Structure 1
Amino acid sequence: MSGPLQGIKVVELSAMGPAPHAAMMLADLGADVVRVVGPAPPVGGYDVGTHLQRSRTTVRADLKDAGDLAAVLDLVAEADVFLEGCRPGTTERLGLGPDECLAANPRLVYGRMTGWGQSGPLAPRAGHDINYIALTGALHAMGPAAQPMPPLNLVGDFGGGSMFVVTGILAALLERGRSGRGQVVDAAMVDGVSVLSQIILELRSVGMWTDARGTNLLDGAAPFYRTYACAGGGFVAVGAIEPQFYAALLDGLGVAGGPDGSLPDRDDPAQWPALAGVLARAFAARTREGWARVFDGVDACVTPVLTYAEAARHPHLAARGTLSGSGRNIVAAPAPRFSRSMTQSPDAAPSAAPNAGGNAGIESITNAWRAP
């Protein structure tokens, strides 16, 4: 068995963050990914050897050198996908823009991932995840009432960025099977984050979400959808939205509730602070591990809040092999999973092509890709 993308050849132009993450996902799914980096290792050693570069081959090329540039274009001519995450105009200046690459290979899917997109007033501007989610409205909705709080860089860079460029690439490959033609995929994080936000936009449109942070069902205001501190410093996450799960939550906590008014009304947002206080006092009576035992096997939607190291040891994730490793070295397994196709191992090492410091290494891969 092999990955579902076996036979798909990808040229990845080295970048930071979400672009290598997207390339990692394509390689995880079985694509043959060749990563092109500059002639010298980047500052900080962000190069061959990390799990973000797993399952693919790295070659070095000086794109200001005519010979190296020609070698990379020859490789692109044999590829199915070209992936870049540079600021708009960068690959054009290098001689690897869509015009040059599609002229060399009309069937090429040219994936471009940026924060602002290839067009619009902000397209040439710098930015980071926090800026992209801020402009889309998503950041305003996150965090406590007093101040927006960025949710790591998962929403913009990876949710709105790498996931959407991978989706676009796969869709363009599927369309190419009908048309025989490649095309450019413009994946902008501001677009992707906005699509991710559609459920919140929908709730807002029907009056079920307000722009006041910390007042809504899913932003930590609802006492049945938030985290609580436990004895000893740990936390639990509660997602008991449905009535049956909420009833199981109260039963596990040993908190009396019901129509007799013994608890503040969970359906009245004005009473949420009082109800949250009741639940907070109950959770504070035991440790996180103690509550994990109480709710083990109970459909109350209560789980411990784990660190990454703890998550790798959790029985469910361990049984699925979702995370592996320990301490600082935690690695995520490829996803999703398939009934017949085999994805790569999460420990698949990156490699360097023979003569990776010059275009001979690139030419050896090009020749292999040309072979029938």
Structure 2
Amino acid sequence: MPRLRFAQLPTPLEEAANLSKYLGGPRILFKRDDLTASALGGNKVRKLEFILGRIVSEGYDTLIVPGGYQSNMARISAALANKLGLNVELVLGGAPEEAINNNGNLLLEHLLGANITYVNTVPRWDFGSALDDLKEKLQADGLKPYLLPLGGSSPEGMAGYVEATLELKEQCRLQSVKPDRLFVAIGSGGTYSGLLLGALNNDVGYEVTGISVSRTRDYLLEKVPENVDHGASLLDMKSFSASSRLSIYDEYIGDSYGAMTDECKEAIQLVAKTEGVFLDPVYSGKCMAGMIDLIQKGEVGRKETVIFLHTGGWPALFAYESDLIKTSAANVAKIA
């Protein structure tokens, strides 16, 4: 596949010894894909290396990117498209009141100069005819637009995480790490599907465990095998269709995608205090909350070795200030 290089790779594989000690086991390591560097980093950079490779090779001049109001894909796509001289159209969905908060990723997207269309939609991945209407308008204006699949969940996006699997396997070999599980957040499912495809074809020895932040487990058990089979056919790799082999949890979503939960807040604070690492409130925070709960329930053994894939997204923290920080007269420093 055509590929453009944007990420600083390999991303670190780091011990989270303080967090492991606090939880009383298991051994935990962070795969720091929040440090892919381009446009403040995150897992979307790996996907976009292949997606933008295709877009440039096929002569598209405009990128249409759907997502939520705090979309990490929108931020990174806008930045990399600017670098390549492409036009950028962001179509962001959610509740109307969310668009008022221009902090976090939205602030950065304004700085990047992207054209933004807001769509009042619940769930936020249901854009109705908005995407097709915009594509038709751009074509009528003489442009050649490419509509990015939500979250970059395409064979090109999966290819980024097949490559990441090879990278991680080599790091584990060099660091004498034998992981039992790899935890990752699931949104649209592209990263999880790529990791599954990579694991199936590379004898990694670990189970890929997904913590959903949006869709139900039943939906993902149907959708993920379709994604993996489609990706495998185009990448000429082995695949599978048995949903019974998938490890997916949907108990940690909360009220909805992007809605803060108490467990997510506690996980963000715990990782910051023990490891000095910032998780985000939409993806990695909820994934960490799920992993911690499974450890405390005994579903993850205390003697296991677990890798947590940090997918980035920390700019969204600034849009969740009221959820993350509660001040009172007792803890506000007084200046004489």
Identify whether the pair has TM-score above 0.5, normalized to the shorter chain: no
- TM-score class, shorter-chain normalisation, is under 0.3
Please tell me whether Structure 1 or Structure 2 has the larger radius of gyration of its CA atoms.
1
TM-score, L = length of structure 1: 0.25
Bigger helix fraction: 2
TM-score, L = length of structure 2: 0.27
